[in-house]
């Protein structure tokens, strides 16, 4: 069974449980990001584009403006305009000017965007569940621990 010391090929500072947990968390984030990127490459979208489509799908049929999308994104530093340009070019979303506020644009997922998510979801669930090696109970425990970690960091 691989452990973080073997993966990162270092031992210094990993004898401290908090350093080991942080190193493991950062390493695992990079590892999962790489797996997700590879999966989404098969569908010709990035993880940020996928996140935008999921947000729009969750709020459909209500359109959102760019600032709403940015506030809901997992990555808080995206260029939403650029992401939407690319997704619109692929036919996955539409943008319409707000008739009451010309500076605001309403963004909605298209049927093609919804169909893309329908194709991605089962593949994503299959690959990620196969990768995790965790039971549902362990996944819940991990999620709870991560919530606790963030809550403690903000206190």
Partner residues linked to 108 by β-bridges: 94
Mean pLDDT of all residues in the chain? 85
| Residue 14 structure tokens | 């990993």
pLDDT class for 35, splitting at 50, 70, 90? confident
Q: What percent of the chain has pLDDT over 90?
A: 45
Per-residue pLDDT, 140: 85
Please give the model's pTM, rounded to 2 decimal places: 0.82
Alpha-carbon torsion angle 48, 49, 55, 60, nearest 10? 180
What would the CATH number be for the domain defined by 45-123?
1.10.10.10
Predicted local confidence at residue 99, as pLDDT: 78
Of 154 and 125, more confident: 125
What are the pLDDT digits (tens) for 98-120? 778 777 899 999 999 999 999 99
Give the pLDDT of residue 145: 87
CA separation, residue 95 to residues 47, 52, 88, 109 (Å): 21, 13, 8, 9
Closest CA to 52 of 119, 60, 33: 60
């Amino acid at each position: 069974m691989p452990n973080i010391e073997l993966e990162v090929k270092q031992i210094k500072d990993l004898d401290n449980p908090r350093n080991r947990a942080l190193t493991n968390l950062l390493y695992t984030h990079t590892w999962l990001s790489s797996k997700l990127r590879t999966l989404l490459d098969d569908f010709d979208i990035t993880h940020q584009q996928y996140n935008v489509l999921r947000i729009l799908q969750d709020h459909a049929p209500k359109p959102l403006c760019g600032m709403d999308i940015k506030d809901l994104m997992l990555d808080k530093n995206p260029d939403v305009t650029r992401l939407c340009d690319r997704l619109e070019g692929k036919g996955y979303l539409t943008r319409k000017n707000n008739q009451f506020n010309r500076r605001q644009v309403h963004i909605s997922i298209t049927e093609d965007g919804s169909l893309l998510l329908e194709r991605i979801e089962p593949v994503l669930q299959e690959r990620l569940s196969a990768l995790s090696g965790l039971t549902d109970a362990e996944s819940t425990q991990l999620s709870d621990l991560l919530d606790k970690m963030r809550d403690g960091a903000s206190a």
